[in-house]
Structure 1
Amino acid sequence: MRSADERAEELTAAIYAALLGETGWQAFLDRLNGFTPGALSTLFFHDLRARAGAVAFVSGSEGRETALQDYEGYYSNRNPWMRKVAATPVGRGIIGEEIVPREEFNRSEYYSDYIRQNGLETGVGLTLHKDRGCYFLLSTLSDDRDVERNLERAHVFTRIAPHLKRVFRYYRSGEAHAAGLALGEGIGNAGRLGLIVVNDDLRVIRTSVAGERVLAGGDPVGLDAMGRVRFASPDLQAALQALLQHRHFGQATRIVDDPQTGVRLIRVGGDRAAAFFAGTTIAILVGDPQGNVRPHLQALAAAQGLSPAETRVFAGIVAGRSLTEIALASGTKRETVRTQLKSIFAKTGTASQSDIVRLATGILRAD
């Protein structure tokens, strides 16, 4: 039988083989699960805010197919381990008895109606990453209640933890979504549309020039006071939130079209690993405001050589907003807006905000 360190070395090799595309994450999990006969191993997440979780990869589910559906549909909110996941250390393997005492765990609905019913008794887990109340974990459930053997399995989890944390850093660097971003850019360029790419925190991670103009105008989509993407339409905002849910692991590409605004939302599917490790990204495609939203204002800003960020400030001043309101709407500091305003003055030959309004309305002639 392999020692704990030998198993850790074998799993470390499997991690990098999956990361480099030589195998896959299912192969890594199958190898881990193979060290414990009759076990059930998963890469999964638990969202404390939603009090729910979902499984991205599973090994050992043969004969337990309904167990995963039951977990996601009901027992994830009954799992006593997950109720205390916030107190568990990130990066250290831990056995179930360290989280919840055995006597207390055995009295839970989760144990009697789910764990025991599936021929299991306890588990070993590892918190890999946490992000805004959402925890990403590796777990092996088994019927082996021997504490010493389970502590040895936990040691293996601890040994491979640094490598799995590097996987999260890689995926969240943006490389994992490169193909999806390229798809969105291609569609945007072909259709002369504005592209805005957002992550699962509704933060903008990429925009086209036309996308910047869309955000500057704020209609149909702009930024709220926290710098997050916000649609004027509550229905579109709800559709965006639904597409960003973590549980869409490996599903087909989904597209939501809104005929009233011409907005298209695209969640590129197919890559379970990217969805689990990096989170979901959405490409928002919107008609270029240069052609249909205050064209004279956009044309004037372009003629004066204003950048997209300066155009946003320019439009805000013409709309009568204060510098503080413009800063809040764009998610920037007021001093940044003041600097952009000084640049606008220099480029347009104006000396005050009133001059900018006069320029926009044609009272003050541009040179």
Structure 2
Amino acid sequence: MGEADSPARVSREIGLAIDHAACDPAAWDAVMAEIGRLVPGVWPVLQMVDAAGSGLPLAQWGWDPAHIESYEAHYGAVNPWLPLVLSTPTMVSIHSEERMPAESLRHTEFHAGWLRPLGAMTASSGIKLIDADGRLAMLNLQHERARAEREHGRLAAIMEGIGPRMRRAIETNRACFPPSAARVPGETLLDRVADPAFVVTRDLRLVEASRAGHALIAGGEVLRVGALDRVQIRDPGLAGAVAREVALACGGDPADGAPDIASELAPGPVRIGEALWRVTAIGLRQDLRGVLGMARLLTPDHLALVVLRRTVSDGARARHHLAALGLSPAEIRLALLMDGTRSLVEAAGSLGIRHETARSQLRQVFSKLGVSRQSELAVFILRLRQRA
């Protein structure tokens, strides 16, 4: 196998199409077509599900549309491979013939109604891109069972090569192109981003920002712009997350101090006070900068679009809910400890208050929440945490 067919070269080629999809959600079908062109003999399909809505239309290439429609309408719900996908970590390739061979499904409805009509294309290789916050994104490559064992290594290298780039592009779609937002003619990408967003160089010099980004800079509590227009982030954890994502988006490698491709897992949120911050970054090549309204010839070669998404922590949401029900700060602190894992004496000790004080506060909690027993309060608190 020469360089022209190597997984690294194929991943780079597919990555160019993924960059376009990051700035245009309608381009995911073109990404699937590029995978089909560069990896002959596979039918790629990308599925994204958001608990806030429903399963989004599948982006695909090579499939009979009727077969895709039947999967969306029925067979996706009875797919026996789905539990394997859900139990496998993100960015780890999965191969059906290794984990659950098609032959083992012969007596299932899924095999009879959906796999058998595919003829020889009954094996698949896939990778889970996102599995967090009620969202799931999966890339699947359907192929002939006869080539499954021969192709596993190459397909795994390609999927794991493009997976992190696809994850960042999907996250950018979510931040920049909410389904409910109608596009205004002439509107640039930065105009559409509701969250704080920044176009920066590899060394974090600011080139442009969204309206929310400028507001965050003006506030000065989270970040500021210092000498030479360099973005300075006050919290070390958030600063590290931004630097890492920008380095990866700009093509960072271990020699530059950036993580290697194997470490490109979805970054977790950074907690600052009661807020959780998530960082997403994609690289912006020269041919993509027009969507930002930027002059191509006046900007550096390596730029990244960084989006910061702020949410309130689960504990803060629970405290806000209890405050809305009339509990005082002291009563909220006690109520949240009474989840069935400790006695009132132990809760009082944790809070550094006398048992009699805790008992008086507990009576007020009972009255305001409409419960009469500690067991009822424990159920209330547990359910509140689940909703938060």
TM-score range, shorter chain: 0.3 to 0.5
User: TM-score of the superposition, structure 1-length normalised?
Assistant: 0.45
User: TM-score of the superposition, structure 2-length normalised?
Assistant: 0.43
